Structure 1
């Protein structure tokens, strides 16, 4: 589904949030690979489950044509610095919900990009009558957990010892959801 772009100016940084378009595919592939190497908050290590330019073109096309998917990018000076997706379900019994995911280049943390991608995704989901937005967050990502709670998400469950990180220790994944109506 398409989204009308919005401009933000925070801490002397100007950025735009808009729908992903086909020409973003190469940049998205590079950004995703870089983000995966910058944080352990995500599921993947750098290079795992790699999506190339062709893969992103297909994802963008599918998301644009789907009424239950939203693919947003955050752009600074013509360069993508982060993105988010809401992915719906094809199964009728789960068609009332979407799953949210987000990633931002570390250099751009602290500018409200993740918050604004989340806010726009929530607005889109509510406007399109989705009753539930779900997400998964690593238990150590306190800043994200606080943000999600601020925007109405609640803890639904915990996946114990769900991930093993570079320190060799196991960590829990928190399942969160926001309900609309």
Structure 2
């Protein structure tokens, strides 16, 4: 299934294309510098244009991966990815990740990317969506719980943030009982 385009009041969500690769590289770099909610600091584990093009192509060919982008005023402002595995024992699941430019927080973009990812997963028969979220990201945890994600575990002292303190990562999962 491919999402052509979903229009919201000030942005649209669509499946990532090869033409997005350069902008995704720049967007990820920007977002990594705006928040400590993600795993990376700005510039770490950098993915260049070719790297994103490869991810997009791989996800397009896969039955258990989905790469979405959100676009506002002709610019990418967010992306999400459901990254499935090629291993037979884990083909039934995918790992969800999301990144939104700070200027667009609070506009429902993350929620709509999540909603579309869940709809896609249910439609293609994905049994489980899993994710990791920093314990301090209370809004995200509430959102995930609203969409039937449950806490499956805690990775203690998993992240060292700029304040010099260690923080836990919450492991969450959503099971599609209809698969």
Q: TM-score, normalised by structure 1?
A: 0.96
For residue 82 of structure 2, what is the aligned residue in structure 1? 86
The answer for unaligned runs of 5 or more in structure 2 is none
Of 106, 118, 124, the match for 1:122: 118
Q: Could you tell me how far 1:55 is from its partner in structure 2?
A: 0.8
Q: Could you tell me how far 1:21 is from its partner in structure 2?
A: 0.4
Of 18, 22, 45, the match for 2:14: 18
Q: Could you tell me how far 1:116 is from its partner in structure 2?
A: 0.1
Partners of 1:94 and 1:62 lie apart in 2 by 17
For residue 5 of structure 1, what is the aligned residue in structure 2? 5
For residue 168 of structure 2, what is the aligned residue in structure 1? 172
SS at match of 1:84: strand
For residue 95 of structure 1, what is the aligned residue in structure 2? 91
Q: Could you tell me how far 1:2 is from its partner in structure 2?
A: 2.4
Query: Does 63-72 or 137-146 show the bigger shift?
Result: 63-72
SS at match of 1:167: coil
The answer for unaligned runs of 5 or more in structure 1 is none
Alignment pair present for 1:71 and 2:50:
no
For residue 152 of structure 1, what is the aligned residue in structure 2? 148
For residue 29 of structure 2, what is the aligned residue in structure 1? 33
Partners of 1:58 and 1:149 lie apart in 2 by 32
Q: TM-score, normalised by structure 2?
A: 0.97
Q: Structure 2 matches for 1:122-141, cutoff 5 A? A: 122-141=118-137
Partners of 1:57 and 1:97 lie apart in 2 by 23
Count of residues in Structure 1 that have an aligned counterpart in Structure 2: 177
RMSD of the TM alignment (CA)?
A: 0.8
Q: Which runs of 4+ in 1 moved over 2 A?
A: none
CA contact (8 A) 2:64 2:92 kept: no
